[in-house]
Structure formats: structure tokens, C-alpha cells
Structure 1
Amino acid sequence: MPSATVLRAHLVRTGLAGAVATTREASLRSYRLFAARDPRVLIGIDPEGAWGQGELLRLMARRCGVSADPGHTAGRDVIDPALTLAALGAFADRLGAVARRGAPVLLGTGHPHRLLDFYAALADALSAAGCTVLTPAQGRRVDMTTRFGLRTHRLDYVRGVGLVRPWDGGRTGGEPGAHTHSPLPVRLALEAAADAGGPLPELVIGDHGWVCGAGQLGFEAMGPADTDDPAPFVGQAEGRVAVVVPLDDGVRADYYRPLIRYVLQRARPAP
């Protein structure tokens, strides 16, 4: 397992934490939209609190390490690597607890181009530990609103990880799936699992709508989130998301590999 010092250096060197590619402008825009209850930014969370822009900024400063200064309005945003490391530890601890019980799990991503390998490695380890990796609603239709209007997708699973693809099959050339923030895929999956009589997941692992949609429905959920995704952090603050790992969710896929090793070796989800 890479030491915390080595992993911290990797986080900063690759832009997973420290100065990240996400801009301050993008983050502040998301906070404004969340405060206005824009569903594109709520991504499945129905906030109980008021969560105005100032309150959101203070929350993200505490949980991510972004600047709490509202006058700081431009440039690259910042994630405190110490907060990332602490959240990875909590993530690994929950993963290990579920693995030791052999509990059923559901994994899904709205970032398949970047994070599919990360989740697939977790799915492999959990399966080896005796967990049932659920794949409900395989091939089912999902109609989602995008910036191009209503688009029909289908729910697929790749190496045990849920994602969506365009209904017509989409582009060829190894595209693993579509980028989406929608909570509809996880809602469909959970509904299908319930309709089939179970089992239901004890833990949902994912990002964007997967983690927020599951948490809102009362399932234990955890996953990563960037500085311009306040919804998972609000969900965590209100007790509906168990663990949120602050990191840049759009870097090269291979940059997440040391995180996989760190999490799995700390969790020790062995058979």
C-alpha cells in the first residue's frame, strides 16, 4: 500500500487534489444553481436546509478545502489533499466492513471514461470477498434530459459497474458509456431490484446521480466528488450520503490506480 505521504504527493502531482483543473468560475456557478434548486445540480438530492450560496461555499471550504472567500472568483479551484486522504480512509473502512459481511453492493458511474476502472477494481475485490455485485435492470431503457433535449439511453453493466449508453448503441471505438449526472439510472436499478424481490444493496458506490439518488432513497452511499459538485457534500452534511471523497473526477483514468491500491489494501476485502 502506498504510504499517505506518497499518495499525497501523487494527488498533488496529478491534479487529483491541490490545484485542480476545475475552475473557480465553474464551482461558483454550481453553487448558485444549487441554491436556486436547479435539478441539473441537485442530481437526486432534495435538500432539507436552505443552502444559500454563502452556506454552500462555507461547506465546500470545510469538506473540500476550496477558498471560503466569496471575493475569490477566478482561477483554478483547490482541494486540500489532507481532506482527500481522510475521506479515502473512511471510504476504505466502509468498504472493508461491507466486504467482511459479504453484503450485496451496487456500483455505478456517470464518469465511465475516467472512473470505470476504479469502480471495476472495487467490484472485483468485493465479489472475491463474497459480496453479491448487483446488476439490476440490465438493458432497460432510461429517458434522460440532456443539454440536447430528451435522449433515450439504456442501462448497462461493464465489469459489474452500472453506466448508461445511447439507446442506438452510440459511437464505436471502445467508448465505455455516456457522461451523466442524472439520478434516473440508479433509481431504475433500485426499483428493478425491489420489484424482483431483492436482494437490495447494503451499500451503493458511485458518483453524481448514483450516489445522490441512492442516498436520497435511504440507501447507504459513498463516492468521489469534485469542487463543482456540491450535491454529494450537502447529502453528507444532511446525513444521506455516508462518505464523499473530494477529488478531481476528470483526470486521466490511470491516475486513479494508486487510490485503488490504497483503498483496497487498507480495506483488505479478502475472501
Structure 2
Amino acid sequence: MLSTGALRAHLLAARLAGPVATSREVSLRSYRLFAARDPRLLLGLDPGRGWRQREVLGLMADKCGVSPDPGHTAGQDHIDPERTLAALDAFAERIGRAGERRSPVLLGTGHPHRLLGFYAALAAALSSAGCQVLTPAQGGRIDITTRFGLRTYNLDYARGVALMREPGVSRAGGEPGVHTHSPLPVRTALMAAAEAGQRLPELVIGDHGWVCGAGQLGFDAIGLADTDDPALFVGEAEGLVSVAVPLDDAVRSGYYRPLTRYVLNRACLSQ
């Protein structure tokens, strides 16, 4: 079993916490755009009140450990590993409850290149515990606005985890999926399940639009978020997101394996 101390050391060594790759400039820009209610930063969340940029910064300092000083405008951003550990414990506790109750779950990611393995291990453990891992709307076509214009992607599932693929790309291919922060995939999946009279998830696990989009619709949602993803933490503050774990979400995929072991051990779901 991975100890808390060993995981803390790994978080810092892998730069999942401590000084992270996300720049201060990028984080502050995200807080400004979120305060302006830019859909690219809301990730499907509709905040219950107005959030000024300084308030968003203060929340991120509290939730993630970034500097609260608005005059600190350059360099690397920072995540407090103690906050990451505390959030991972809460994340594991919620997953453990789902396993105990054999709850239906939905997992999805907008970072398949980095986080697919992390979520797939959770899906396998929850399935072994008797949870139904849902896969609604598989193959559905979704138009998503990107910086390159409107693009059409296909909703697919890999090892129980939803992701978006380029049209014509098969699962057997080497391309693991596309990067997207859009809430449209989770909305599409949930709507398809509801319209077909299928089971709905009692827990949604993921990142970005998967968490905020589901939480905004009233589903219990937990996930991972970087310092430039204020929507998940605002959602947590407003009671729309159950758990938001602060960490760098774009390091090498293998660096998340110790987190998987830690979460599954804490959730009593180790395989």
C-alpha cells in the first residue's frame, strides 16, 4: 500500500503538485475569462452568482494553494500537495461509497492522452465491485466548437471510459482520442440514457466538461483539475461538484499510476 508520505513525494517529483508546468499567466487569464463567463472556461457550469476575478483567485488560493497575490503575474504556478492529498482522500471516499452501494457510474475524460489509464483502472475496480459502468450514446456524433472552428467528433468508450474521437478513427488504432473541455459529450450521454429509459449514473467521474456538465445537471460528480480550471473549484464551492482534486492534468500518463493505487487502496477497491 502506498503511504501518504510516499505519494506526497511522488506528487512533487512528478510535478503533479508543487511547482507545476501551468504558467501563472495562463492561470490568471483563465480566472479573468471565467469571471467574464466565457463558455470556454465555464465548462458547462452556470455559476449561481457573479464571480469577480479577484474572488476566483482567492478561491483557487484556498482550494489549490496558488499565490493569492494578484501582483504575482509571471512564472510557474503552484499546487499545495497537502491540498491534493486531502482532495484525493475525499475522492477515494466517494468512490468507495459507490463501490459499497454498487452504484451505476459514468466515467469520461477530455484528456485521454494523459488520464485514460487512471480512469480505466477506476472503471475496472468499480466493475469488479459490482457497479455497472455505463456507456450511453456510444458512436454518437457531436459538433464541438474548437479554436479551429466547428468540428464533428464521435463519442466512444475505451475500457469503460468515455472520450471523443476523430471520425473514422477506430478503437484499435493508435490514436487514444481528442483533447476537449466541452460539456457536450456528457450532456449527450446523459440525454441518450434518459431518452432510452436506461439507468442513469449515481456518480460521474472525470475532468473538465464531464464533471461540470454533469454537476450542473444535478448529478454527483467528482474529478481532477489544474490551476487553470477554476470551474471545477467554483462548482465545488457552490455545491454543484462533490470533489475537485487539484493537480497537473497533463504530465506523463504513467505518473498517475501511483495515484490510482492510492485511491483504490483508500477506497478499499484494490484488485
Secondary structure in 2 matching 1:156 = strand
Contact 1:100 1:269 in 2 (8 A): no
Partners of 1:200 and 1:170 in 2: CA distance:
27
Superimposed CA distance per residue, residues 61-85 of structure 1 (whole angstroms, 9 cap, x where no aligned partner): 0000000000000000000000000
| Equivalent position of 1:98 in the other structure | 98
CA shift, 1:161, in A, is 0.1
Contact 1:129 1:270 in 2 (8 A): no
CA distance 1:171–1:218, change in 2 (3 Å): closer
Contact 2:261 2:270 in 1 (8 A): no
CA distance 1:51–1:129, change in 2 (3 Å): same
Partners of 2:168 and 2:118 in 1: CA distance:
27
Which amino acid in 1 is paired with 2:151? R
| Equivalent position of 1:175 in the other structure | 175
CA distance 1:158–1:172, change in 2 (3 Å): closer
User: How well do the aligned residues superpose, as a CA RMSD in angstroms?
Assistant: 1.4
Partners of 1:248 and 1:39 in 2: CA distance:
22
Secondary structure in 2 matching 1:155 = strand
Partners of 2:23 and 2:171 in 1: CA distance:
29
Superimposed CA distance per residue, residues 13-71 of structure 1 (whole angstroms, 9 cap, x where no aligned partner): 11000000000000000001001110001010001121110000000000000000000
What does 1:186-225 align with in structure 2 at a 5 Å threshold? 186-225=186-225
| Residue 42 of structure 1 pairs with residue 58 of structure 2 | no
Which structure 1 segments of 5+ residues have no match? Answer: none
Superimposed CA distance per residue, residues 210-258 of structure 1 (whole angstroms, 9 cap, x where no aligned partner): 0000000000000000000000000000000000000000000000000
Secondary structure in 2 matching 1:162 = strand
| Equivalent position of 1:62 in the other structure | 62
CA shift, 1:175, in A, is 1.4
| Equivalent position of 2:13 in the other structure | 13
Superimposed CA distance per residue, residues 179-236 of structure 1 (whole angstroms, 9 cap, x where no aligned partner): 0000000000000111111200000000000000000000000000000000000000
Structure 1 ranges of 4+ moved more than 4 A: 170-173
| Equivalent position of 2:135 in the other structure | 135
CA distance 1:11–1:51, change in 2 (3 Å): same
Secondary structure in 2 matching 1:10 = helix
Secondary structure in 2 matching 1:137 = coil
| Equivalent position of 1:82 in the other structure | 82
Partners of 1:183 and 1:109 in 2: CA distance:
11
Partners of 1:169 and 1:270 in 2: CA distance:
33
| Equivalent position of 2:238 in the other structure | 238
Partners of 2:145 and 2:55 in 1: CA distance:
28
CA distance 1:270–1:76, change in 2 (3 Å): closer
The number of equivalent residue pairs is: 271
Partners of 1:25 and 1:203 in 2: CA distance:
34
Partners of 1:78 and 1:183 in 2: CA distance:
27
